[in-house]
Homo-oligomer: A and B are copies of this chain.
Amino acid sequence: MRIGEAAAAAGMTTKTLRFYEDSGLLPAAKRSLNGYRDYTEDSVARLEFIRRGRAAGLALTQIREILGLRDAGKAPCAHVQDLLSNQLADLDHQIAELMALRSVVAGLHATAASGTDASCDPGRICSYL
């Protein structure tokens, strides 16, 4: 199938497929006589795997590692487990940071909602911050 068809099947754009090829996530596609890339069902399965990886918040470099292992004939499952562990820890870390920031901002917001503009000293730019 041609690139547009494969892209549609995977829910991506043709740009993305060429980008993935350039980035080493897809092997260089076979070409038809006219020079067009020619994809198979396997290509679409690979694209769908990439999609699942992205949906889990993995970076393309990590997905590339997994694909590299599989292409080397090794089962990447243990590595995927590690990546998922790290991803979970990263997410917890990011969530904790955002919650800390949220509480700072909530405090400022509460002060701003209860305060009066009149007390604002120009030298301080804005007393609510």
| Residues of chain A at the chain B interface (Cβ within 8 Å) | 42, 45-46, 49, 52-53, 55-57, 66-67, 70, 75-78, 80-81, 84-85, 87-88, 91-92, 94-95, 98-99, 101-102, 104-106, 108-109, 112-113, 115, 117, 120, 122-129
Known: A91-B98, A117-B75. A126 touches B56 (CB 8 A): no
| Chain B nearest Cβ from A98, distance in angstroms | 5
- Which of B46, B85, B129 lies in contact with A49, CB distance below 8 A? B129
Pair A129/B85 contact, Cβ less than 8 Å: no
Pair A95/B102 contact, Cβ less than 8 Å: yes
**In the complex, the 10 A-B pairs of residues with the closest C-beta atoms, listed nearest first:** A84-B109, A77-B117, A49-B125, A91-B102, A81-B112, A80-B128, A80-B126, A76-B126, A95-B98, A52-B129
